[in-house]
Amino acid sequence: MSNGKAKAYTNIALIKYWGKQDEDLIIPSNSSLSLTLDAFYTITNVSFSKNNQKDRFYLNKQLQNNQQSKKVYQFLDLVRKKAQTDLFAEVTSYNHVPTAAGLASSASGMAALAGACNEALRLNLSNEELSALARRGSGSACRSIFGGFVEWEKGNSDSSSLAHQIESNHWEDQLAMIFILVNDRPKTISSRLGMQQTVKTSSYFPIWVKEAEKDLIIAKNAIAYQDFEALGKVSEANALKMHATTLACEPPFSYWSPDSLRAMDEVRTLRQQGFSCYFTMDAGPNVKVLCQKNDAPAILQELQKEFLPSQLIIANAGPEIEFLERNVSR
Ligand code: FM0
């Protein structure tokens, strides 16, 4: 039997990944840039053993059905092939999310699973190689292998599409992200399906890809110069461009709910009042507010006038993947 255990933190993209050039290998159409966060993480233990009759996946102590386990099982098939083993696995995951917010956890989840498998099967992958492997589980997971600011270079093959940390002199430690969890949750389209529809049907998609590459350069410059306004501005603009692609789909769709609009409006109003803050949004209705750590308490106080305390969560920059105990007996 061989065990591996890893802890990976979630990440939120400032320059979004939206669209694949290769759906099977999960190679994106554009490079992206994210901030790893400390507030949400996944701890995953995987044990391969000849005593297992089949794969099993437990999330927060609940055994998941085949549908819920599909991506995990596909990932296990991939690592089994790599390690040339046919042992079945038991995967036990804990998602640490402060409230029952239903926040997406595929980034931290797949990163932790990749890390745990690397340990259990002694794949001896470097963090770069691990990033490429985690990508096969979920694209954004490749960025959760690293801490702080992370760039995922799109690459053009299985081994060249991977993330790395962006050197920033620890500037990320001076930043914060406030999550506004909106209550009016529309029926969501998964990011996998949403981007598939976008690539296939959105007339704005080719423009998006060009814009995202330009925005990425601006964001990297802003990080190099520790220019918060520049980073905030380009992040907000990039998120809006991503969401614009979905409106140009056939049929059109949107991840925004009335409360998302209210939250975005609130951020703009705060900015007019002199608060330095910018929003971003992913494939769901929650709004995330990027600000500087020193300003976070005052901005939080303002947001509390509009939203319930339970709807607001502050996150700081988070670390790279951590490998927990290793226990192998053969
Ligand atoms: O995180 O189809 O990784 O850059 O969150 O599993 O590769 O769940 F806003 C959307 C994340 C997409 C932007 O997509 O998709 C970002 C998004 P997969 P993911």
pLDDT digits 0-9 by tens, 105-118: 789 999 999 999 99
Query: Which atom, in ligand 1's list, is nearest to the CA of 255?
Result: 9
Reported pTM? 0.96
Query: Quick one: average pLDDT of 157-171?
Result: 97
Predicted local distance difference test score (pLDDT) of residue 329: 53
- Identify the weakest region by mean pLDDT among 150-159, 186-195, 221-230, 232-241: 186-195
* pLDDT at residue 188, as a whole number: 79
Q: To the nearest 10°, report the CA torsion of 230, 232, 236, 241.
A: 40
pLDDT number for residue 187: 62
Would the pLDDT of 88 be above 60? yes
CA nearest to 204, candidates 151, 255, 162, 243: 243
17 lines ligand 1 (CB under 6 A): yes
pLDDT, position 225: 98
pLDDT band, residue 325 (cuts 50/70/90): confident
What average pLDDT does the structure give for the chain? 95
Count of CB atoms within 10 A of residue 54's CB?
Answer: 8
Q: Which of 15, 17, 29 to mutate to test the pocket of ligand 1 (most atoms within 8 A of CB)?
A: 17
What residues have CB less than 8 Å from 39, skipping those under 6 apart? 10, 98, 179, 313, 314, 315, 316, 318
Q: Is the CB of 154 under 6 A from ligand 1?
A: no
The reported pLDDT for the residue numbered 105 is 72
16 lines ligand 1 (CB under 6 A): yes
Please indicate whether residue 26, judged by its CB atom, sits closer than 6 Å to ligand 1. Answer: yes
Q: Is 163 in the pocket of ligand 1 (CB under 6 A)?
A: no
Q: What residue type is 289 in one-letter code?
A: V
CA–CA separation, 309 vs 251, rounded Å?
36
Banded pLDDT at 330 (limits 50, 70, 90) = very low
Which DSSP letter does residue 116 get? H
Does ligand 1 lie within 6 Å of residue 245's CB atom?
no
Tokens (6 digits) for 323: 């490998």
